[in-house]
Every structure is written in structure tokens, then in C-alpha cells.
Amino acid sequence: MRSVSIFGVTGSIGAQTVDLLRRAAPGTYRVVAVTGGRNIAALAEAARELRAEVAVCAEEAGLEELRQRLAGSGVEVAAGAAAIAEAADRPADWVMSAIVGAAGLVPGFRALRNGTTLALANKESLVTAGPLLMAEAAAHGARILPVDSEHSAIFQALAGEDVAAVERIILTASGGALRDWPLERLARATVAEALAHPNWAMGQRITIDSASMFNKALEVIETREFFGVAPEQVEVIIHPESLIHSMVGFHDGAIMAHMGAPDMRHSIGYALNWPARAALPVARLDLAQIASLTFRAPDLDRYPALRLAREVMARRGLAGAAFNASKEIALDHFLDGRLGFMQMSGVVEDTLSALDAEMGAANLPGSLEDVLAMDHLARTRAGEAARRIAGER
């Protein structure tokens, strides 16, 4: 029996992971740990259904409710960030890292120390601490498998290939909910409008990040860190149909594209069953029905996040941590209605310049502690920048 843990079980990726486990033959998996944020009812339900060893919620305030909901179930309960990290210390063969944001960083690191296979949905881990995470995996004989659909696509296109033969990696982007809006109107986009994603059903935060292309910006950095290619080898193309999930171009001019229905259970299932391919409950493409695929270059005035990602990659070191943390704060402010849609990139840009000295000249982040300290500092600076920029509205 294979042992698995799911960090962020109550989220969009977490629930789709549970869906796949539920469909497996009884006795295939044994669930070690499940963790969630504030939705205690959903966490308790997942823990009961999966007969997890332990269920952990992010905040102490949720512990009593979790205890009550799991009374008599035999599931251990715990709460707090430290307890989530401890849950990652429990050995499991396969661990899903699907907490959203920098909060997913430490649990992923801890799981790698057991030599596990880490299915990585939490792209923030690679953006903030890519070189450290990859080194940690190597040091413990652990494996990281990408879950982000683009990176799963690239990983699959690279199967059996030599990375040295790669000329470029082409990330596809849907363009999100606002892709066809005139630039002038974007400044007034509301949360509800930015949440209306045309192709993918995802968590709230990543859906807004798709509309602003901050998600693609994170993914460009994620690509560079995971596959070890140079920044200039990573390209972005808008592909509104979201049927090609990404492409790899080789030195001989060939391009390998990965296609499929826009359903995250494909990449989750691929990571779960790797290196085998098991049958998955995803829709099959009817190509005659689809008839055509379209592409267009992204407009960098519309998507300053893509330009900022280039600066972050050139700088590396702690710039990824500052970038991600300031993006998270800018997003909080947009979600609360305190900041306009187009002001989010201003907050990130101002934070990166304010932290120029603190980010140092180092090309690589020194330690996880450095990354966490920069994350913390950038949140403070970004909060200041957000208040100032919001005042200019």
C-alpha cells in the first residue's frame, strides 16, 4: 500500500487529488496527513473519508472545532504552522504540496527530507527558494514532480530527451478573464470580473493571478528553476483555448506540444501514477470539433508582471521571495477592494526597488531562513507600498 499526504487538501488542487484517491481500488493508498486552512468542516470531512492518520488546520483557533468534528474517528488533530511542518515529517511515499502561497514552502522542504516524491503544485516554493528546494531533493534522494499544468506538460514533452537539446520552452497562457478587455478599462476591473476565468476552475488567488499574468510570471520563474534553463529560453504565448498546456522547442527545430482537456486531474494524476500512465477521468479532446488553435504574443504594457519576472530572474538570489511576497500582499489588497487591478504590479515593482540593498548581490539564496526573512520583510514593505499607491487612486 502506498502512503500519501496532502497539504492543502481543502483547496481546488487538494479536492481534485482526493477525487483521484477516491476512485482508486480500495487498499491502494494509505493516507498519512491532511492539512487545511480555515475550512474546518471540509478538512474534517476529507480526513474522515480518507481515514487519515492526522488532520492539521492552519490556525489554533480552528483546533477545537476540528477536534469535535473528528471525535471518535481515530484521526489525530493538531493546529498551527509548526504542526503542519511536523505533519510533513511523517514519512509518506507521495506528498501533494497544494497549500497556496509561501505558506507551502516549509512543509515541502520538510517532506523532501524523508526522500519522498513531492508532487509540487505550490509553485511559490520554486519561485522563492528554487535552488534550495532542488538541492534539498537531491541531498535526500527525493523527487519533485511538477503539478502545474504547464510544467507537467513540459516534463512530459521532455521524457526521454536530453535537456541539453532544448532550445526554448514555450509556456502557454490563457490570458485569464480580462484578456479581451481594452487596456483603459483594466484599471477598473473588479474582483468578480477577474474571477470569471474562461477555461480553468481554480482557487480564487490563482484565478486573479491568471488575469494579471502574475501567475504566468511565477511560472516563467518556476520553469527556469525546475528545468534549469536560462531565463531567455523561456517564452510566453497567449493561447486562449488552453488546450496546448505548453511546448518544448529543440535544437533541431522540432516542437513537442502537450495537449489535453483543461482539467488539473490530468497533471495531478500524472504525478500520482508516474512513471506509469493510468486511466484518468478527464474529457477526451474532439479535434474536429475544436477545429482550430490560436496564439498571440502577450502585450507587456498590459502585463507588467511578465516584465518584472525577467528582472527577478536576472537578479535571482532573494528577488523571487520578495517578488512572491509582495505579489501576495498586493493581491490581498485587491481582493479587499483597497487596490485597483492595475495597481498590483506597482506595489510589486516598488517593493523590489525598496529592497534593492536587502536582496543583496548573491546569485543564489543562502538558506531557507534567508528566504523566510526576505518573505517577511517584503510583506511589510509591500503593505506600505500598497497603502501609498491606494492613496493615489
Which residues lie near ligand NAD (CB under 6 A)?
8-14, 36-37, 58, 84, 98-101, 103, 121-124, 148, 200, 202-203, 205-206, 264
Between residues 137 and 331, which has the closer beta carbon with respect to ligand NAD?
331
Q: Can you give the chain as a three-state secondary structure string?
A: CEEEEEECCCCHHHHHHHHHHHHCCCCCEEEEEEEECCCHHHHHHHHHHHCCCEEEECCHHHHHHHHHHCCCCCCEEEECHHHHHHHHHCCCCEEEECCCCHHHHHHHHHHHCCCCEEEECCCHHHHHHHHHHHHHHHHCCCEEEECCHHHHHHHHHCCCCCHHHEEEEEEEECCCCCCCCCHHHHCCCCHHHHCCCCCCCCCHHHHHHHHHCHHHHHHHHHHHHHHCCCHHHEEEEECCCCCEEEEEEECCCCEEEEECCCCHHHHHHHHHHCCCCCCCCCCCCCHHHHCCCCCECCCCCCCHHHHHHHHHHHHCCCHHHHHHHHHHHHHHHHHCCCCCHHHHHHHHHHHHHHCCCCCCCCCCCCCHHHHHHHHHHHHHHHHHHHHHHHHCC
Closest-approach residue to ligand NAD (CB): 11
Binding partner at 382 among ligand NAD, Mg ion, none, C-beta below 5 to 8 Å by kind? none
Q: Does 225 bind Mg ion (CB under 5 A)?
A: no
Cβ–Cβ contacts within 10 Å for residue 237, how many? Answer: 15
Between residues 13 and 84, which has the closer beta carbon with respect to Mg ion?
13
Between residues 118 and 121, which has the closer beta carbon with respect to ligand NAD?
121
The nearest distance, CB 305 to Mg ion, in angstroms, is 14
The angle formed by the CA atoms of residues 300, 248 and 209, to the nearest 5 degrees, is: 40
Between residues 117 and 149, which has the closer beta carbon with respect to Mg ion?
149
The nearest distance, CB 324 to ligand NAD, in angstroms, is 10
Total residues interacting with Mg ion, rule: CB under 5 A: 3
Stretch touching Mg ion by CB under 5 A, among 67-75, 107-115, 144-152, 234-242: 144-152
CA distance 55 to 357: 41
Q: Does 209 bind Mg ion (CB under 5 A)?
A: no
The nearest distance, CB 366 to ligand NAD, in angstroms, is 24
149-168 residues near Mg ion, rule: CB under 5 A = 149-150
The nearest distance, CB 286 to Mg ion, in angstroms, is 23
Binding partner at 37 among Mg ion, ligand NAD, none, C-beta below 5 to 8 Å by kind? ligand NAD
7-66 residues near Mg ion, rule: CB under 5 A = none
The nearest distance, CB 215 to ligand NAD, in angstroms, is 7
Binding partner at 349 among Mg ion, ligand NAD, none, C-beta below 5 to 8 Å by kind? none
Q: Does 148 bind Mg ion (CB under 5 A)?
A: yes
Between residues 100 and 318, which has the closer beta carbon with respect to ligand NAD?
100
The nearest distance, CB 164 to ligand NAD, in angstroms, is 28
Binding partner at 103 among ligand NAD, Mg ion, none, C-beta below 5 to 8 Å by kind? ligand NAD
Q: How far is CA 50 from the centre of its chain?
A: 24
Between residues 218 and 359, which has the closer beta carbon with respect to Mg ion?
218
Amino acid at 117: T
CA distance 64 to 70: 10
Binding partner at 124 among ligand NAD, Mg ion, none, C-beta below 5 to 8 Å by kind? ligand NAD
Binding partner at 212 among ligand NAD, Mg ion, none, C-beta below 5 to 8 Å by kind? none
Binding partner at 181 among ligand NAD, Mg ion, none, C-beta below 5 to 8 Å by kind? none
Binding partner at 122 among ligand NAD, Mg ion, none, C-beta below 5 to 8 Å by kind? ligand NAD
337's grid cell: 477592494
Amino acid at 292: S
Between residues 120 and 186, which has the closer beta carbon with respect to ligand NAD?
120
Instruction: Tell me which residues touch Mg ion (CB under 5 A).
Output: 148-150
